[in-house]
A and B are shown apart, each in its own frame.
Chain A
Amino acid sequence: MNRIHIEARSDWVAQVEGLGFKFHSIGGCYWNEAACYVFTEAEIDLLDDVTAELHQMCLSAVDHVVASGQYGRLAIPEWCHSRIEASWRSGEPSLYGRFDLCLDPTGTPRLLEYNADTPTSVYEASVIQWQWLKEQYPKHDQFNSIHEKLIERWRVVARGAPTFHFSSIGSCEEDFLTTEYLRGTAEQAGVATRYLPVEQVGWSESARCFVDMNDKPITHWFKLYPWEWLISDEFGRMLPESSINLVEPWWKMILSNKGILAILWELFPNHPNLIPSYFTSSRLANGYVRKPLLSREGANISMVHGKIITSSPGDYGKEGWVFQESVMLPEFDGNHAVIGSWIVGDQPAGIGIREDDTPITRDTSRFVPHYFI
């Protein structure tokens, strides 16, 4: 994995905006094609294999949590347990997830965390960097079949759905455009869809179901809205009563919780693709990263080595914490790089690289395209 400086396309703004990618400059610079990452084929094969293996390990971890009822360690409310179990045992399908990996000095990918519920950067990984590749390096290849695999997966996920409703926070452009992209992939799979802001989802007292803007029942719902918010909102308690089918499904609540990192380490101790993680810091004398069980976009993360070295602000942490051994992200010209490796259904589907000036990847961390040789 190398980072090279290159010339950005002179008309890159028009190019990406022409594809509907409007949030290319959030935080000043988000899409950065003045550089790119170059992998070898062997490195890509390794990322592919590791992603598949991590996915299987995560499924085993869900099975373990459900079988042993260890929801308390993840601060999942008791009223959700039976619904999670039913969701898991009936095999409710998942659409996608993103493993955030770092390459250690030996080139081994290791799991920093798993964005299993509401992963974003999917549009830029799937479409924008692919267009970039075709224009800039048409003779090279890219680890990227995200778009095709999403379409393929929707045919499974949406089977039997009369209409699939899609929601995000209405005021957030990035979430809205990401949701619209995913809705587009569902449409290409032949699924009838409709968008409505999550704030506009209605609850019908008479029909005891969720309804859309036209008061029509929502039977299948993709929400780019975290599970932990969903269940703590006013309408959350209505979810078990309704017969709504959700993407991501209930059982993803287990995997989207950072406590899963500690459970994975318990189940697969010393696995080369995991980083030692615990529910307590006492076993990490040489420094650790403290992460809230529930948090987003790098919020409330502290790096501790005797004292706090660096930390990020936020409102998370009241549910508890997980402690992960401190590992250094690979650094290229002062840029700390994280590989987001996509799983769609059960298949590894591609990668997107985010980089930041700091060791903590945040919502504004730059997206840098890649190719391999």
Chain B
Amino acid sequence: MFACKSSFARRNRSGYGEIVAKKRFTSDDIVVVVGIAVIFAMMFIEQDECSLEYRSLEDCTNEWPGNQCIQYQGMYYGPPVDHCESAVGGSRGYQGNAESKSKSTGVKRGGFGRSGRGGS
């Protein structure tokens, strides 16, 4: 069913026929991997001041010394920063007391979610 296509074009990482074939022996693939590494480094290592989510207590404490970090559902969060999007910790940060927030905004949370894994 794919007789008209080269087998290489179907499986190569970039997968776009002739253009890709030219790239096969260049360093483009390494560039892709390095690019991904940079993205992940930015995601998990560097923290802008509005992104207060940390993978470990140690990472959080390094940034926010003196018992300022909160553990919440397996993550660690620094304190709220006033000028960030949300007054309670930024878009990805700890939201404080969700119940009291619900009372003031009419937003209910916690209707999705259970323990364990969602992936398969």
Contact = CB atoms under 8 A, between A and B. Distances in A.
Interface of B: 1-2, 7-8, 10-16, 29-30, 32-33, 36-37, 39-41, 43-44, 55, 72-75, 85-86, 91-93, 95, 98, 102, 105-120
Nearest to B102: A202
A213 B119 contact: no
13 contacts: A22-B55, A44-B7, A52-B2, A130-B13, A142-B11, A145-B15, A168-B119, A170-B75, A184-B43, A198-B118, A203-B107, A205-B108, A213-B91
A122 to B, nearest CB: 9
A363 to B, nearest CB: 7
A149 B14 CA distance: 7
B118 A229 contact: yes
Given A199-B110, A201-B112, A215-B107, A173 B74 contact: yes
B11 A143 contact: yes
A64 interface: no
* Chain A contact residues: helix, strand, loop or mixed: mixed
Interface of A: 18-20, 22, 41, 44-45, 48-49, 52-53, 115, 117-120, 127, 130-131, 134, 141-149, 167-175, 178, 180-181, 184, 187-188, 194-206, 211-215, 223-226, 229-230, 233-236, 238, 296-297, 347-350, 363
Contact of B118 (A118, A146, A188, A214): A118
Given A134-B30, A214-B85, A145 B92 contact: no
Question: Would you list the 10 A-B pairs with minimal beta carbon distance, nearest first?
Answer: A235-B111, A20-B40, A120-B119, A199-B113, A171-B74, A145-B15, A234-B111, A170-B73, A202-B107, A225-B118
Given A19-B37, A199-B113, A115 B120 contact: yes
